[in-house]
Amino acid sequence: MAHPPVQDGLFERRVSFPDPDARSRLASLVGLDEHKSRLAKMLGLLVNPTGLEAWARRYHGSTASLLRPVLRRPPLVVLAGDVGSGKTELAETIGDQVARQEDIEITLLPLSLSARGQGRVGEMTQLIAQAFDYTAAEAGRLKSASGKARGAVILLIDEADALAQSREAAQMHHEDRAGVNALIRGINRLTADRLPAAVIMCTNRLSALDPAVRRRAADVLTFERPNDAQRRHALTQVFGELNWPASVIDGLVAATGPSATAKYGFTFSDIMQRLAPTIVLDAYPDRAIDPRRAIELVRSMTPTPPFQDRGA
C-alpha cells in the first residue's frame, strides 16, 4: 500500500506490527498486566467497535446509550509516572498485542522531538499539524464501512510535556501555546472522524500537561517502580538460566530494593540496562559470573533517583 508523503525527521521511524521483537519486549514487561490489558482493549475498540456492540447485544440487549460514551471517547491515552518504569517500552510494543488479537496490521509513528522546531514563528504548530495530517491520512485508508478497520495507526508522543505543557503557565511563549492548540485540534479531528488511530502520550510530569489535553484522555495509566515481586521476576528472566540457588535471587531482590542510603529501589531500566550488563561485563571474558560478586556489584550501584513532579 502506498503511503502519503511525510516530511523528513517528523517521525523517528515507522514500525509495523505484528513484530516478533516487539512481542518479546512486551512479554518482558512484568507487573504491568493490567496496563497492557486496558491499553490493548482501548486500541482494539478503535479498530473493531463492532466487537463491543456484539458483546453488549449478547449480555445486555439493546444498549446504545451505554456504548455511546465508550465509543465516543477521544482516542488518547496518557502513560504517566516515574522514570524507567516501562511507559515508553509499553507504548512502543503494545501495537503487537493489538495486531495479533485483531488479526490486522498496526503502524506505530513515534513523533520526533524535532517537532518542536527551531523556535521560528509558526514552525512547531505546522509540524504538529503535519503529524496529525499524516496520521489521519494513513488511518483514513484503513477505515472500513463494515465497522472493522483493515488496520490502525498509533501516534506516539514521548516526553509529551515538551509539546503539551499547560497554557496556564505565565512564562509560556505564544508559539508553545499555538502548538498545544494544534495538538488539541489534531486529537479532536481523530475523534470526530472516528478513524482507526490513537495517540499515546508518555510523560514524567503529568501535572505539566495542559488541562484540556488531560480532560481528553480516555485513560491515564500511572506507572510506579517495581516492587519486590516484579524485581524478582525481572531478575529471574535475566539470570534464571544460570541455575543459581534461590538465595542468590533473594539477595539480588533485596539489594535492588530500598536501602538506608536510598529510600527507593531500582527501576526496570536500571535492572535491564545498567545492572545486567555490568554483571556480565565484569566477568567477561576470563571467568564465569560469580553470584556473590554479582550481589557486590549491585550493592555498589545507585538506583536512578525518582523524578519529582513538583506540580503534582
pLDDT for the residue numbered 61: 84
Residue 3: predicted pLDDT: 63
Query: Residue 169: its pLDDT value, please?
Result: 64
Q: How confident is the model at residue 94 (pLDDT cuts 50, 70, 90)?
A: very high
Contact 124, 7 (CB under 8 A): no
Least confident interval from 24-28, 256-260, 293-297, 305-309: 305-309
175-219 confidence digits (pLDDT tens) = 778 889 999 999 999 999 999 999 999 999 999 999 999 999 999
CA torsion, ordered 169, 173, 178, 180, to nearest 10 deg: -40
Task: Write down the pLDDT at residue 83.
Answer: 86
pLDDT confidence band for 145 (50 / 70 / 90): confident
| Cα first-last separation, the chain | 45
- Residue of 267, 34, 268, 22 lying closest to 154 (CA atoms): 22
When pLDDT is averaged across residues 259-266 and rounded to a whole number, the result is 90
C-alpha to C-alpha distance for 10 and 113, rounded to whole angstroms: 8
**What gap in Å lies between CA 307 and CA 83, rounded to an integer?**
6
Confidence at 63, pLDDT banded by 50, 70, 90: confident
Please state, in angstroms and rounded to a whole number, the distance separating the CA atoms of residues 68 and 196. Answer: 17
For the full predicted model, state whether its pTM sits above 0.85: yes
30-34, 101-105, 150-154, 225-229: range with lowest mean pLDDT: 30-34
pLDDT of residue 132: 96
Task: Provide the pLDDT confidence category of residue 123 given band limits of 50, 70 and 90.
Answer: confident
pLDDT exceeds 80 at position 2: no
Q: Where are the domains of the chain?
A: 15-223, 228-300
Q: What is the pLDDT of residue 65?
A: 85
The predicted model gives 18-34 an average pLDDT of: 92
Integer Cα distance of 298 and 254 in angstroms: 10
Q: Which residue type sits at 122? A: G
**d(Cα 140, Cα 188) in Å, to the nearest integer?**
15
What pLDDT band is residue 171 in, cutting at 50, 70 and 90? low
Residue with more model confidence, 174 or 122: 174
- CATH number 3.40.50.970 is the correct assignment for the domain at 15-223: no
Q: Which of these ranges, 5-9, 43-47, 139-143, 157-161, has the smallest mean pLDDT?
A: 5-9
